[in-house]
Chains A and B, each alone.
Chain A
Amino acid sequence: MLYIPGNNPAMLQHGGIYGADSLLLDLEDAVALNQKDAARILVRNMLQTIDFYNSEVCVRINHLDTPFGREDLEEIVPLQPDAIRYPKTESVEDLRKLLAIIEDIENKHNLPHDKMTIHAMIETAMGVQNVFDIASFSSRVDALTIGGQDLMADMNIKNTKEGTGIDLARKMIVMAAKANGIDAIDTVFVDVNDEEGLKKETEYAKNIGFSGKAVINPRQIDIIHEVFTPTNEEIRKAYRIVKEFKRNKEAGIGVFAIEGKMIDAPVVARAEYVLELAGIDYKNV
């Protein structure tokens, strides 16, 4: 998920070329206070004119407690990007207020309530505490994201390469997302020149259950894809598991072994997920 400052026309017009799964057109932190209206107008126009190719498009609006949030929604919701990202989501109250306004605008424009989704951004200690309720509040919430920088500021802790301070938050967010069957997107890695560090952090994020990671520079995209894309070996292995499972199932066998390792339903489910990531239809293996 590539962050693009909403007031940068050059970056916006090229947003779709880098192969990011998702673009985040930012009206919030990447935009200076005196540029808020310019960014809003630019993003509005770009959404109508630029082809972002295969990337999903989200817009991060300003919080409704600021003077800009409401206007952002008025301009952006009618264009129905794939998602609205809501910063500093701390409670279901925040979401209730947000969704009421969104649905009101959608009603005015005769738009459905089930097309554009909401990404709740968790970036305060209070948000982390309430994350399960936030994740389960509405079917429109289809992803949780962690805002590492703001969360560290809120917790008054320093950024470390190991991310020790926000480790609990990361895991709580992932758990809440998994419990509700929605995506969890990890925070950005701020040192764009440290490719090894990015790889390491992305591998960690993947291992604890995140389904993606935000980036601040297109140069970071390939590394993240590399980590999240299953290797040929993983795909081959998953294919074999699913195929063997089917064969055994037909013979009435639920648990079996491949090369001495037990294969049961959870292992099969994991293998099916790997095939899905690789774009292989596991049902027809």
Chain B
Amino acid sequence: MKNVIGRNIPEYINGIGKVEPFLGAWEKLKKGWMDEITVPPPNKAKLPHQCKSCMDLKTAIEKTNPHDGMTVSFHHHLRSGDNILVMTIDILAQMGIKDITLASSSLNNSHDSLLKYLKDGTITKIWTSGLRGELGKAVSEGVLDVPVTIHSHGGRVRAIHTGKIQIDLAVIAASAADEEGNATGAHGKSAFGSMGYARIDSRYAKQVIIVTDNMVEYPCTPTSIQQHYVDYVVKVDSIGDASKIATGTTRITKSPMDLRIAKLAADVIENSGMFTEGFSFQVGAGGASLAVAKFIREKMKKSGVKGSFLLGGVTSYGVDMLNEGLFRAIFDVQSFDAAVSSSILKNRNHIEISSGYYANPYNCGCMTNKLDIVVLGALEIDTDFNVNVITGADGIIRGASGGHSDTASGANLTVVVCPSFRGRIPIIKKRVHTIVTPGETVDVLVTERGICVNPKKPELEESLIKAGLKIKKIEDLQKEVEGITGVEKPIEFTDKIVGIVEYRDGTIIDVIKQVKNAN
């Protein structure tokens, strides 16, 4: 069957079950309540003064009743510096556990060594927001029988609430913790800031292990993870590589191309009608997205416009804007560099939030719903403004859904920034390979070669034109780019589905097919 944006979705997928096709960005939420059941979190008990500390991770895992077919979850706050996920799966594999469902909030290159476990049946199912490196390639080539489910950050919380993901064991890395399992990412040698993605796991997993390289005296504050959800606590030498945890994405780019795109995007924002007193704002880290923040910061200082809150993945650049009084608060689900951690500790207007608070569509008001302006990147965008942030030009999974569709759905103004082509590969296409974010939630595309406004926003186009900005039709820009790059040779796929892309409301917006003859 075809979903509402014309993607072919099977009604039933082996290993996944019956599939609900995408209906439109807000269609399912209109009623105000959801028909899906809410799964209760587990009831647990500890005796008074019972010790939770274990001598090592293996001992802790042994106590959690590991078994074949179990679901193990992790957070990705350690980014590419993560040691804990692989360490855990190594232990489970040594125990001979098979058929594991891996439910990390995201996966990246630091998890490449898991590949052998996908091949030998240790891991047979994956839920994740992102997939990169060797794992992304192997999944795209069909290493698993059951398709990987790609979810958004908000969608993951919904999936846990509704029991689609039922976590048997959550192994949660923390940069500081106490003996009862109160834990944080805000201080310690491996500090990584907010623990927003891990909170839902701590609440819903049947067993919870906190792993830290920094045991502190009781109590550990702030209590990002609270002791009454935690079963065991383990001290290890290192939870990760600090240099890779802080990814250095807070430097403003010097790339003239990114700066050009960012400046145009900032001009769009300034003249959109949304750049007004009390606006809320989210940008990504690195590249053109962060550079937009630089230009917006300058425009705010010049015009005297003050914002209400910054949201999202937070960089030290955002912290500077908070400290300068340009915004009143930061809601922080994920921190991109170590400098952010100290702000969480010191500034009460720098508020650590859970991913449910951030973006879960099944609640009474996630923060993304309150967002005015978001600036997002894209691997591909098509002439219907649909965005792909998960598969590359070769059809291989190499990206992350993240909060892309969550924020696009919530924001009054969604600006996508990307170059019109990379190398010889066009980014603007007639049809993207994989839809993650539907075009109906995207308002403007800004590239180095022009600005395109979604035709569903004629009033926005009018105000941009009035401000002297040159607007191109996206179809014309697509043709212009094709004139430079030529037409791509189509990627060949088999009929095998290797991934399904869940929209934030749990419907299926697209499927990813197995790449034929991948290199």
Interface on A for B, CB 8 Å cutoff? Answer: 13-14, 17-18, 50-51, 217-219, 222
Complex interface: chain B residues within 8 A of A17 (CB): 257, 260, 448-449
A82: shortest Cβ distance to chain B, in Å?
A: 21
Interface pairs A-B: 10 shortest CB-CB:
A218-B256, A17-B448, A219-B256, A18-B260, A17-B449, A17-B260, A219-B259, A14-B257, A18-B256, A217-B256
Q: Is B263 an interface residue, CB under 8 A from the partner?
A: yes
Give per-residue flags for B253-287: 1 if the beta carbon is below 8 A from chain A beta carbons, else 0: 01011011001000000000000000000000000
How far is it, in angstroms, between the C-alpha of A102 and the C-alpha of B263 when the chains are bound? Answer: 41
Checking A14, A50, A51, A217 against B448 with a beta-carbon cut-off of 8 angstroms, the contacting residue is A14
Decide if the interface of chain A is mainly helix, strand, loop or mixed.
helix
How far is it, in angstroms, between the C-alpha of A218 and the C-alpha of B259 when the chains are bound? Answer: 9
Q: Is B487 an interface residue, CB under 8 A from the partner?
A: no
How far is it, in angstroms, between the C-alpha of A222 and the C-alpha of B448 when the chains are bound? Answer: 15
How far is it, in angstroms, between the C-alpha of A51 and the C-alpha of B448 when the chains are bound? Answer: 13
A152: shortest Cβ distance to chain B, in Å?
A: 26
B405: shortest Cβ distance to chain A, in Å?
A: 29
Complex interface: chain B residues within 8 A of A14 (CB): 257, 448
Establish whether residues B484 and A13, one from each chain, have CB atoms under 8 Å apart when the complex forms: yes
Establish whether residues A222 and B263, one from each chain, have CB atoms under 8 Å apart when the complex forms: yes
Checking B259, B263, B484 against A50 with a beta-carbon cut-off of 8 angstroms, the contacting residue is B484
Q: Nearest CB to that of B447 among chain A residues?
A: A17
What are 9 inter-chain pairs, A to B, with CB distance below 8 A?
A14-B448, A17-B257, A17-B448, A17-B449, A50-B484, A218-B256, A218-B259, A218-B260, A222-B263
- If A13-B484, A17-B260, A50-B484 touch, does A219 touch B254 (CB 8 Å cutoff)? yes
Give per-residue flags for B235-259: 1 if the beta carbon is below 8 A from chain A beta carbons, else 0: 0000000000000000000101101
A225: shortest Cβ distance to chain B, in Å?
A: 12
Q: Nearest CB to that of B421 among chain A residues?
A: A13
How far is it, in angstroms, between the C-alpha of A13 and the C-alpha of B485 when the chains are bound? Answer: 11
Chain B contact-residue range equals 10 to 19
Residue among A17, A18, A218 having the largest count of chain B Cβ atoms under 10 Å: A17
With A17-B257, A217-B256, A218-B256 known, 11 other A-B pairs at CB within 8 A are A13-B484, A14-B448, A17-B260, A17-B448, A18-B256, A18-B260, A218-B259, A218-B260, A219-B256, A219-B259, A222-B263
Decide if the interface of chain B is mainly helix, strand, loop or mixed.
helix
A224: shortest Cβ distance to chain B, in Å?
A: 14
How far is it, in angstroms, between the C-alpha of A13 and the C-alpha of B263 when the chains are bound? Answer: 20
B201: shortest Cβ distance to chain A, in Å?
A: 44
Complex interface: chain A residues within 8 A of B449 (CB): 17
Complex interface: chain B residues within 8 A of A217 (CB): 256
Complex interface: chain A residues within 8 A of B448 (CB): 14, 17
Residue among B260, B263, B449, B484 having the largest count of chain A Cβ atoms under 10 Å: B260
A232: shortest Cβ distance to chain B, in Å?
A: 13
How far is it, in angstroms, between the C-alpha of A50 and the C-alpha of B480 when the chains are bound? Answer: 10
How far is it, in angstroms, between the C-alpha of A64 and the C-alpha of B508 when the chains are bound? Answer: 66
Residues from 411 to 461 in B contacting A, C-beta threshold 8 Å: 448-449
Q: Nearest CB to that of B423 among chain A residues?
A: A10
Give per-residue flags for B211-255: 1 if the beta carbon is below 8 A from chain A beta carbons, else 0: 000000000000000000000000000000000000000000010
Q: Nearest CB to that of A18 among chain B residues?
A: B260
Q: Nearest CB to that of B256 among chain A residues?
A: A218
Complex interface: chain B residues within 8 A of A218 (CB): 256, 259-260
Complex interface: chain A residues within 8 A of B259 (CB): 218-219
How far is it, in angstroms, between the C-alpha of A50 and the C-alpha of B254 when the chains are bound? Answer: 24
How far is it, in angstroms, between the C-alpha of A13 and the C-alpha of B260 when the chains are bound? Answer: 15
How far is it, in angstroms, between the C-alpha of A49 and the C-alpha of B448 when the chains are bound? Answer: 18
B390: shortest Cβ distance to chain A, in Å?
A: 27
A267: shortest Cβ distance to chain B, in Å?
A: 29
Complex interface: chain B residues within 8 A of A219 (CB): 254, 256, 259
How far is it, in angstroms, between the C-alpha of A50 and the C-alpha of B448 when the chains are bound? Answer: 15
Residue among A14, A18, A219, A222 having the largest count of chain B Cβ atoms under 10 Å: A14
Q: Nearest CB to that of B263 among chain A residues?
A: A222
How far is it, in angstroms, between the C-alpha of A93 and the C-alpha of B448 when the chains are bound? Answer: 43
A278: shortest Cβ distance to chain B, in Å?
A: 12
Complex interface: chain A residues within 8 A of B480 (CB): 51
Q: Nearest CB to that of A219 among chain B residues?
A: B256
Residue among B256, B259, B263 having the largest count of chain A Cβ atoms under 10 Å: B256
Residues from 129 to 146 in B contacting A, C-beta threshold 8 Å: none
How far is it, in angstroms, between the C-alpha of A217 and the C-alpha of B260 when the chains are bound? Answer: 12
How far is it, in angstroms, between the C-alpha of A111 and the C-alpha of B357 when the chains are bound? Answer: 69
A203: shortest Cβ distance to chain B, in Å?
A: 19
How far is it, in angstroms, between the C-alpha of A44 and the C-alpha of B479 when the chains are bound? Answer: 23
A12: shortest Cβ distance to chain B, in Å?
A: 12
Q: Nearest CB to that of B450 among chain A residues?
A: A17
How far is it, in angstroms, between the C-alpha of A18 and the C-alpha of B480 when the chains are bound? Answer: 17
B283: shortest Cβ distance to chain A, in Å?
A: 20
How far is it, in angstroms, between the C-alpha of A17 and the C-alpha of B449 when the chains are bound? Answer: 6
A11: shortest Cβ distance to chain B, in Å?
A: 9
B13: shortest Cβ distance to chain A, in Å?
A: 42
Complex interface: chain A residues within 8 A of B263 (CB): 222
Residues from 458 to 493 in B contacting A, C-beta threshold 8 Å: 480, 484
Q: Nearest CB to that of A50 among chain B residues?
A: B484
Complex interface: chain B residues within 8 A of A13 (CB): 484
Complex interface: chain A residues within 8 A of B254 (CB): 219
How far is it, in angstroms, between the C-alpha of A18 and the C-alpha of B449 when the chains are bound? Answer: 9
How far is it, in angstroms, between the C-alpha of A222 and the C-alpha of B263 when the chains are bound? Answer: 10
How far is it, in angstroms, between the C-alpha of A13 and the C-alpha of B480 when the chains are bound? Answer: 13
How far is it, in angstroms, between the C-alpha of A13 and the C-alpha of B448 when the chains are bound? Answer: 12
How far is it, in angstroms, between the C-alpha of A13 and the C-alpha of B257 when the chains are bound? Answer: 12
Residues from 336 to 381 in B contacting A, C-beta threshold 8 Å: none
Q: Nearest CB to that of B483 among chain A residues?
A: A51
Q: Nearest CB to that of A220 among chain B residues?
A: B256
B1: shortest Cβ distance to chain A, in Å?
A: 42
Complex interface: chain B residues within 8 A of A51 (CB): 480
Complex interface: chain B residues within 8 A of A50 (CB): 484
How far is it, in angstroms, between the C-alpha of A219 and the C-alpha of B255 when the chains are bound? Answer: 8
Q: Nearest CB to that of A218 among chain B residues?
A: B256
How far is it, in angstroms, between the C-alpha of A18 and the C-alpha of B256 when the chains are bound? Answer: 8
Complex interface: chain A residues within 8 A of B256 (CB): 18, 217-219
Complex interface: chain A residues within 8 A of B260 (CB): 17-18, 218
Q: Nearest CB to that of A13 among chain B residues?
A: B484
B409: shortest Cβ distance to chain A, in Å?
A: 31
B255: shortest Cβ distance to chain A, in Å?
A: 9
How far is it, in angstroms, between the C-alpha of A18 and the C-alpha of B448 when the chains are bound? Answer: 8
A186: shortest Cβ distance to chain B, in Å?
A: 20
